[in-house]
Structure 1
């Protein structure tokens, strides 16, 4: 119970769980263990079963346990989002980028309008990309063999919309290169940023 509450606190506040050193002698063991310790001080039932008072393999603080708790929270949040959308229209935004270790991560976001008319974007998850079969936009939107065609076979109401943000970015870059003042500003900015890095 304490581990679940501690994980819930970290997730609700977008806080990292673990510190660099979670050993017994460490002064700062990370937010998850710090919150768990704080909870156990004021709650005798939790105090009995956590941290130093728990049996060696029954502390429920291992990184694998933390991941399982986070996975349970993620499933519940996804379930709530699905219940809110029901049979209504929604958009799926998928994008990938490489993390610091150069492993590709894919973020999946659902965009929909709630019952009161507010547009919401909810992160469904981040997953590691294991392989990709795309070599350009034509592969995505191809009428016969593209990803669009494959998805439409399973779900005829799934509409393909090209990324307008990317098109807008290309237009802005093209216009900025033609305008002397804007071009000069970005060249100066580039020199300042490059100088700061050195």
Structure 2
């Protein structure tokens, strides 16, 4: 079955689940030749995106200008495909219109977002109507924007415990109320309900695990069956930090790493 992911442009991306291929069809009328070339360009970009996502390979290059020795994996592999396949080589990169090459960062993100929706669709189907637990953590990204990561933990039909990352959400602040609102909004997108939650795991920070005003308490107000467990990964982190603080060499090492990281963030924002 096909489904449509709308974009802000005048056209859309249609994902054909049967062939795992994404095509972009313009609403404006085009000649068949141009339409075929358009489809070849997009299909080639989709094939590359699928391979890079599967291998967790970076798309972009540090320098993608014409004079660059290596323009990044996406453009370089696209050029290689053009050399290996004459029909592709005739319609990509320099042989394509400047505003219709299907290689821009926005196009790459559109394609990746479509694959994301396909993966999430399968996760929600796998979960079905069963109960589940949520694991939530929040931190700043490299641009210092606050974001919240959400993971679903559940048991599949074979009795295997599964953990699936379903996305990260940018939040204005890390207060419990703001995080709770973001979770509600994320759940609404995938028709999930807090009533099906049977566990919640966070770190021990007051905004997460606070007895009265933490995220834990807000979720428990909606569902008393959502039992809270202090995240074991965060517990392990606390143990490691406590041990590292007792060892001078380790303490100085991480202190230097933290200092360098702050300088890198400062220089990146300059």
TM-score bracket for the superposition, by shorter chain length: 0.7 to 0.9
More strand by share: 2
Equivalent in the alignment of 1:117: 159
Equivalent in the alignment of 2:231: 163
CA distance in 1, matches of 2:253, 2:207: 38
Over 3 Å counting, the alpha-carbon distance change for 1:189 and 1:116 in structure 2 is same
- After superposition, where does 1:11-22 map in structure 2 within 5 Å? 11-22=53-64
Equivalent in the alignment of 2:148: 106
In the superposition, the TM-score normalised over structure 1's length comes to 0.76
Q: Decide whether the 8 Å contact of 2:206 with 2:214 is kept in 1.
A: no
Instruction: Give the paired residue count.
Output: 190
Report how far residue 36 of structure 1 moved: 1.7
Unaligned 5+ residue runs, structure 2?
A: 1-42, 178-204, 261-270
In the superposition, the TM-score normalised over structure 2's length comes to 0.58
Report how far residue 72 of structure 1 moved: 0.5
RMSD: 3.3
Secondary structure, counterpart of 2:176 in structure 1: coil
Report how far residue 71 of structure 1 moved: 0.6
CA distance in 2, matches of 1:187, 1:129: 37
Could you tell me which of 251, 256, 270 is aligned with 1:190? 251
CA distance in 2, matches of 1:67, 1:163: 32
Equivalent in the alignment of 1:50: 92
Equivalent in the alignment of 1:127: 169
Report how far residue 127 of structure 1 moved: 3.2
Equivalent in the alignment of 1:92: 134
Q: Deviations over 1:3-46 (max 9, x none)?
A: 11111111111111101111222221111112222223333443
